[in-house]
Structure formats: C-alpha cells, structure tokens
Amino acid sequence: MEAWVADIGNTRTRIARFSGSEIQAFLEVNSLEAWLEQKPEKLPLLISNVSKKQLDFLADWENCWHLDQNLKLPFENRYKTPQTLGADRKALVAAAQVYFPGENCLVVDAGTCVTYDLLLNGRYYEGGAISPGLNMRLQAMHEYTGRLPLADPKQEMVWPGKSTQESLLAGALMGLALEIDGFYQTTLEKTGTLQLLLTGGDSSMLSKQVKSPLFAHSQLIMYGLYQILKFNVGQKA
C-alpha cells in the first residue's frame, strides 16, 4: 500500500511516504499547507494533529483520515478517558505492534513531555504516565529559583557534576534516565516479559544513559500512523 502520513506537532510537521512497509520519503516542513504547494501525489493520507491547527485546506483531498477519537484503532483501548488520549500516543502504541507483535511493550516518547504507554500482549492498551521532559526540567529549575542558570542540554553529562551547570544537567538527564529504568523494571516485575521502545527528540541522549535493554527509533510514530491507516483502509474495504 502506498500512502502518506503526517505528524503535526507543536513545533514541527513531519511527513512520510510509505510504499509497502517502508518509508520511501521523509521530510520536515513548516506547515502542511506549505507541503501541499509542492503538489504531492494524492495517495491515502492520515494526519496526527497534536497542535490542533485548522486543516480546512485539505477539504478536497480524497481518502484523508484524521487520527481522532472516532478513528478505529488496531488495539483495544482501555484508557478511562479515551477522548483525552493524544493522537501521538495512539500512534506510538500502534508502532509497538509493528515491531513486537503479540508482546508486552512499554513505549517511551521523550519530547517536551515524556509519555509512557503500556501495551499488553500486543492487543490491550492499558494506559501510562506523563512527566516533564528534559528541557522542561532544566527550564523549571532556572525559572523557579533565584540563582540557578539555564543549563545547556547539549553539553556532555558528567556525574558527579563538578559545577552548577554540570549538576543541573546530571540531575535532569540522569534523573530522567533513571525514571525510565524505574518504569521499565516496575512494569517488568508485573508482566514477566517486556519490550522497551524509546523515541522522541531527546531519545538519542537518553539511550546512552538508560541501562535497561531498549529499542530506539527516531521515526517510530510514522510507522504507527501507517499501521493505523492500513487498519482503517481495510475496515473501509
């Protein structure tokens, strides 16, 4: 199946063209409307719109799907408030089905916030957790104190920190890595087996600090969107 998927976030829009089960083209654009000016092929298109930007300009696109609460999912959603579950979290759970079908999976998305989502037996979405992301932690320590500076998350982390900058980054980055390890170990004790998937803008830094065995993939959400699109196209057929 050939199709487009688009992930509209708060700061960037990412688009992928799939053919079969693989990404054939990937790009980041300022807006979906700007992408349309390039006159892309009008293949089936699934959109995840976390930003809630208006997309009226897509009205004439046939086979355009929106990942909202009315779209069918390839797993059973056991979230108590399904209408509040973010489209990005749904897509990441679907991506876990692609890479680890039938298995217990904990999906971690390390972005502005860090989300944890648990899929059991490849079929049942049980919910998860949300915590502050790396930059949010650094920003909070700077803004809610009188003297602490804003640490640079791109500098090398040192433990123990031998300066205020190093101490701030160690607390935020190492603390977040230990948090991920803690969620993994606590969940593993209950499930017996568990796959840990890591994605998001800070995943490359965190993958060096997390001790638990993990599968890191920068474009995990795109594969999840494609999985959901294929499921709905099949339902429609």
pLDDT over threshold 70, residue 110: yes
By mean pLDDT, which of 48-57, 107-116, 132-141, 210-219 is the weakest?
48-57
Cβ(155)–Cβ(147) under 8 Å? no
DSSP alpha helices (H): ranges in 70-116?
A: 87-99
Mean pLDDT along residues 176-187: 98
**Catalytic residue IDs:** 88
pLDDT digits (tens, 9 = 90+) for 17-49: 999 889 999 999 888 888 888 888 889 999 998
pLDDT category of residue 160 using cuts at 50, 70 and 90:
very high
More confident residue, 182 or 234: 182
Cβ(115)–Cβ(221) under 8 Å? no
Cβ(110)–Cβ(133) under 8 Å? yes
Q: Global pTM?
A: 0.91
pLDDT recorded at residue 24: 94
Q: How many Cβ atoms from other residues are within 10 Å of residue 182's Cβ? A: 11
pLDDT digits (tens, 9 = 90+) for 199-212: 998 999 999 999 99
Q: Is residue 102 left, alpha or beta, with left meaning phi > 0 and alpha meaning psi from -120 to 50?
A: left
pLDDT recorded at residue 205: 92
Question: Which domains are present in the chain?
Answer: 2-133+173-236 (3.30.420.40)
